[in-house]
Amino acid sequence: MNPIELARITPKGYQFEEKIVFAKEIYQKTDIIELKDIIVKGEIKKNLEQDIYLNASLKGTMVLPDARTLENIDYPFQIEINEKIDDLNESIQEYFEKNKNTLDIMGILWENIVLEVPISISASENTTMKGNGWELVEEKKDSIDPRLAPLRKLLDCEKE
């Protein structure tokens, strides 16, 4: 998405709908393997005090690694963005270029996508886990180690 000229943003708003692509270098340091089919739709408005507001809907698909198998999983997402873009906010300075009179919202969109990445995701519903030389075993409360069975008999005798 190209930067938006500030002159195009009016109190009536500047409407946009666009398919966007993020460079792979951006998400290399994240858990995101790929971003697909990302569409942003919304508007940017300016009020009488010259405050700029972004109202947008962002949807697409993230490809993430499965937490158990590390296979790729498609994770669809939809994000609603309602933000006041304040040129005094230091974190937004990099998107707001006064000398060029443009506004680049790609950074804002990226920040919102990163917030939607789940901590872990798994497609498999199988909760039993096995590996080479190990197996996850659920403990049973009533099971007694056979080596401790004589002690159990002693405890039962004391109760009587």
Strand, coil or helix: 111: helix
The tokens describing 136, both together, are 């996850």
Q: How confident is the model at residue 58 (pLDDT cuts 50, 70, 90)?
A: very high
Which whole number is the average pLDDT over 35-55? 89
Placement of tokens 């809907």 in the chain: 57
Task: Spell out the residues 6+ positions from residue 58 whose beta carbon is closer than 8 angstroms to its own.
Answer: 38, 39, 40, 77, 78, 79, 81, 109, 112, 113
Tens-digit pLDDT profile for residues 72-88: 999 999 999 998 887 54
Tens-digit pLDDT profile for residues 93-112: 555 454 467 888 888 899 99
pLDDT at residue 50, as a whole number? 78
Q: Specify which residues 20 forms β-bridges with.
A: 38
Q: How far is 21 from 29, CA to CA, in rounded Å? A: 17
Which range among 28-32, 71-75, 89-93, 98-102 shows the weakest confidence by mean pLDDT? 89-93
Is 60 exceeded by the pLDDT of residue 128? Answer: no
Mean pLDDT, the chain, rounded, equals: 81
pLDDT at residue 52, as a whole number? 86
DSSP label at residue 30: S
Q: Which of 94, 111, 103 is nearest to 45 (CA)?
A: 103
Contact criterion met (CB below 8 Å) for 17 and 52: no
Predicted structure pTM score: 0.68
